[in-house]
Structure formats: structure tokens, C-alpha cells
Amino acid sequence: MITNLDSSAMITSKDFDNSTARGVTRRRNAEDSSLKSRKKGTSARTKSFEGRFKQLIDFKDKFGHCHVPKKYSANPSLGKWCSTMRGYYNKIQQGQTLKIYITQDQIERLEEIGFKWKIKETFEQRFRDLEAFKSEFRHCNVPSKYSVDPSLGKWCSTMRGYYNKIQQGQTLKIYITQDQIERLEEIGFKWKIHETFEQRCHDLEAFKSEFRHCNVPYNYSANPSLGNWCRDTRSAYNKIQQGQTPKSKLTKLTQDEVERLEEIGFKWKLR
């Protein structure tokens, strides 16, 4: 029997043992809860990895490589995930200690399908990005301010600049070879871009395929000139309907072109 010197209350050894047992039980419950929480977190991360891994395989099946643009419009979170995986891997390589975000098994599985931990912007990489763009939009006229991958639009502009200087007889460092020129031409790359009605229809169809309508915003960041063209086309059409002659370059808007746009689902008046 233990006497509390500060109180007349008496604590029996049985009470003491019960209290100790309850404390042990609470600690065990807390440890079990923490363990379950960690297991749940690990399970969630594993499930997340498997989902992204499948999306990456689908991307490779479509484009032939695993270089998902960081701002991939069809699946922005996939591009961000790939960038995050590279970040984790590089920190591990630098000897930094991380939580279990990426395992050795996951690293090996990514490498097996051709995932690269470091991406160098080479002609080959850009050529693949251009092929992916063509696969989606059916042409190679990447806007110079292409929001999904701004550097691709800039690269295309640079290639045209190099080519035109070569055509003018200027001597350049080896920025673009004859083989590269021929490969670009084989996939439909144009050294000079003239915006034709047919080209704009292709752009409009690509927009509709993604958004299910043809109401391209005037300030459409992925292709600003398409929004301007749609606005000008409506303006020209409405002036023709009123018996006026449009002042813009769209004066030659023919009946066939009007019908072609209507078949796509283009609206002449926006509410």
C-alpha cells in the first residue's frame, strides 16, 4: 500500500497497476494509429504512382517517348508529376534524405519504359515534341507564343531563322544540318508560314476537339492569332450580310468557306 503524503487519499497498488496499464494501452493505441496512418499514406502514394505510371505509358504509346512537357495541356498534372519525380531522384542522387516518395523499384520501372531523369533540349527532343504537336493538331505551325510549351514555339521560330540565313548564303555555326532540314520537311514543317483559310480550319477543328465548341476566346493564350481570326471572320461575314465590303483581308470569304465553317460548328453570332 502506497500513502500519498500530501493527501489523506490512499492509492492501492491495484489502482497503480490499472493506471499504468491504461497508459500502456493508450501508447499502444497511439502507435497503432500512427502505423495505420503511415501504411495508409504509403498505400495512397503507391496508388497515385500506379495511376501516373499508366498515364505515362499511354503517353509513350501515343508519342513514342516519355518526355511529357511540364505544361502538357491534355494532362497538366502528368507533366508536373514527371517533373516532381525527376526532382526526387536528383535529390536522392545528391545524397539527400527524403521521405518515401519514390522507391528503387519505381525508379527501375520508370527507366524500363524509357523515362529520362535529365532532359537536354536537343534537336531530337524538339523534333519529337513537334511530332507530338502535329499528332494533336495535324500541322507543324506551332504558334510563337504557344502557352502549352512556349520553348517549342520559340525553337520553331529559331529553326526558320537559321534556315533563311542559310538560304541567303550566310555562314552559321552548325545549328541545323541538311539531314535535319530534310527530316523537318518530311513531317510537314514549313519554313515560311502563310496563314491560309485551310490552316485556320484545321486549328479551329483542333480547338473544337478539345473544348467541344468553336467559340475561340479573343485572348486564347494557346493560339492568340486564332482568336483574332475568328473575330475578323465573323466581322467580315456580318458586313457581307449587310451588303457592305469588308476592309480586312477576309474580303474573299466565299460561300464554300462559309459552309465549311458552318459544318465545323462555327457560329456567326456569339451570345
Domain boundaries, the chain: 43-119, 120-193, 194-271
Is the predicted pLDDT of residue 3 greater than 50, yes or no? no
DSSP 221: T
* pLDDT tens digit sequence for 101-114: 788 899 999 999 99
* pLDDT tens digit sequence for 148-194: 777 888 889 889 888 888 888 887 766 788 889 999 999 999 888 76
Nine-digit cell string for 111 = 527507366
pLDDT given for residue 161 in this prediction: 85
Strand (E) positions, the chain? 2-3, 10-11
Kind plus residue range of the DSSP H or E element containing 11: strand 10-11
pLDDT given for residue 83 in this prediction: 86
pTM of the full structure: 0.39
